[in-house]
Amino acid sequence: MWDAASQLVQENNDDPHDLLKKKAQSQVDRNDVLAAATTYEEVGEYSQAIDLLGAGGWDDRLYNLVETYLTEKHEKLIIKCIEYFKKHGKMNYAVETAKKLSNVTTLLQIYLDAQNWEEAFKIGDSFPQYHEQIYLPYGNWLAMNDRYDEAQEYYTKAGRPEDAIKVLKFLASNSVTQNSFKRAACYYQSLSRDIVLQLSEKTNISQTLDKNEQLSLLKTYQIYAKLYYAYDKVYKFVNDPFTMTPPEHLMNTAKFILVYLLNNTNPRKISKTFTLYCLAKISFKLKCFKTCRFAYEKLMQIQLPLEWRDTIDLGAMVVRSKPMTDPEQFLIPCVLCGTVNPFINPKENRCVNCCIPFILSAHSFEVLPLIQFVPLSNISNDECQKLLQSEPALYSTPQNLFNFSELDISNDKPYKPPIFNREQLLQADPQSVFIRKYKCSHVPDEYYIKRDSSANIVMCDNCQQFFYEEEWNYQVLITGRCSFCTIESKIAG
């Protein structure tokens, strides 16, 4: 008889609080949750009401409580309600409730938990100090939703390069699995860039082991970027004979991959059989019968797919009736010592006489007339670059700079690039010199000079790869981009 009881309380001017609490308790005992909650609301015992409604899953009723009774001073209660809404998946209620909070950190956390990125970014716009707190979970969320490219960007923004690298590695490996080799190449390029970035942020790497490990990773990623980029063309040639790649480019490309495969372990999914097959077919077409024979001989040593055997046997037989030579235009005069090299040197991509590594165009994989040099050890990067940029009374031609007769050329020792002193650096024509800058004290900048100042060579500003001007311009005209790194580029010259 609650009505009679409350009338009695009123008449005696007593406090109705205790009576109402008893009433609510009896409603709870009768399992009448909604009525009990209403009674608790009347007494101002919101916490009890929230627990009853929340535990019973009465979300609409709970939201009604929030709207009617709660203000920003009820922070703890608001958070309690939000927890219930989140638990029941009522994110819209959670977000609306969160708007009652004045504490930005808590509010942001609720938006992040609710994955309400729009609201979270709004807070980020007004309070830039929260950016990092938003970028990381957003990166995670993007990665969970297979949006790895964007995830990678946000990891970097959040100052979490390790996570960015993890995602990139995953992307690269996935692209390889899907035979999407050109994309894999792009990811390996980004990986090498991130390694340099990571190294440049570590001002004093105490463990040299760590540094060496990173540097060797950098080398691996750089070469993988090139290999997968090259292999994309070979793979397309084998699977689709109507390739757009000119045969000379394709032959150079296959050679570049093959020489690597003959001396190193295969990167995943790069097939020696496909590479040799491509080389054999194309070299025959270009009348490079010596190279063609070499490719067929290597193919015969490999276990071939059944359906290929007859074609390969026939090809190998036909090429034996041809002269065992490659046309002169495919032989490679060494940029340093002038020795005429065979088209393919199975041991390495170097001169057979002086061992200088050949620098290849990142488009056609043709040997470029470029020589890498290093400044004398006591010349800093800054000084070296200043000397190279200054204008002397007279530039020396690259030929004079090198003084070839004095170069220490011997194939017994490991090759060392020519060393330039201050005078040579000063006299070098800046138009003939290329500098690959890494902007990182742990990775030395690389210096290259044209063997012949009239050679038209272009270096991409972004990926710092070299190209013949003609092929660069052709690519940029067609696609507007560097063919290696696919970044928008301008015509040279």
30-38, 64-72, 79-87, 337-345 -> range binding Zn ion (CB under 5 A): 337-345
For residue 340, report the phi and psi dihedrals to the nearest 5 degrees. -85, 115
39-47, 329-337, 446-454, 468-476 -> range binding Zn ion (CB under 5 A): 329-337
What is the nearest approach in angstroms of Zn ion to the Cβ of residue 126? 38
The first and second tokens of residue 227, run together, are 């290999």
C-alpha span between 303 and 111 (Å, rounded) = 59
Nearest-CA neighbor of 420 among 429, 412, 411? 429
72-80, 102-110, 295-303, 455-463 -> range binding Zn ion (CB under 5 A): 455-463
Q: Which is nearer to Zn ion, 216 or 403 (CB)?
A: 403
Tell whether residue 462 is a contact of Zn ion (CB under 5 A): yes
17-25, 181-189, 312-320, 343-351 -> range binding Zn ion (CB under 5 A): 343-351
What is the nearest approach in angstroms of Zn ion to the Cβ of residue 348? 12
Q: Which of 28, 262, 337, 440 binds Zn ion (CB under 5 A)?
A: 337
3-state secondary structure of 251: helix
What is the nearest approach in angstroms of Zn ion to the Cβ of residue 337? 3
Tell whether residue 482 is a contact of Zn ion (CB under 5 A): yes
What is the nearest approach in angstroms of Zn ion to the Cβ of residue 462? 5
Tell whether residue 476 is a contact of Zn ion (CB under 5 A): no
List 340's β-bridge partners, or say none: 333
Beta-strand relationship, 332-333 and 340-341: antiparallel
Q: Which is nearer to Zn ion, 50 or 336 (CB)?
A: 336
Q: Which of 37, 278, 463, 476 binds Zn ion (CB under 5 A)?
A: 463
Q: Which of 167, 172, 251, 351 binds Zn ion (CB under 5 A)?
A: 351
Tell whether residue 185 is a contact of Zn ion (CB under 5 A): no
What is the nearest approach in angstroms of Zn ion to the Cβ of residue 338? 7
Tell whether residue 460 is a contact of Zn ion (CB under 5 A): yes
Residue type, 227: L
Q: Which is nearer to Zn ion, 189 or 385 (CB)?
A: 189
Tell whether residue 367 is a contact of Zn ion (CB under 5 A): no
Nearest-CA neighbor of 492 among 475, 472, 465? 472
Tell whether residue 354 is a contact of Zn ion (CB under 5 A): yes
Tell whether residue 353 is a contact of Zn ion (CB under 5 A): yes
Q: Are 404 and 336 within 8 A, CB to CB?
A: yes
The full 3-state SS of 277-305, as one line of letters, equals: HHHHHHHHHCCCHHHHHHHHHHHHCCCCC
Q: Are 151 and 167 within 8 A, CB to CB?
A: yes
What is the nearest approach in angstroms of Zn ion to the Cβ of residue 395? 24
Cα separation values, 216 from 128, 248, 277, 430, 440, Å: 37, 32, 31, 31, 15
Q: Which is nearer to Zn ion, 246 or 333 (CB)?
A: 333
List 419's β-bridge partners, or say none: 374
Count Cβ atoms within 10 A of the Cβ of residue 360 and give its class: 0-12 exposed, 13-18 middle, 19 or more buried.
buried
Count Cβ atoms within 10 A of the Cβ of residue 462 and give its class: 0-12 exposed, 13-18 middle, 19 or more buried.
middle
Q: Which is nearer to Zn ion, 20 or 476 (CB)?
A: 476
C-alpha span between 441 and 133 (Å, rounded) = 30
Residues in touch with Zn ion (CB under 5 A): 334, 336-337, 339, 351, 353-354, 460, 462-463, 482, 484-485
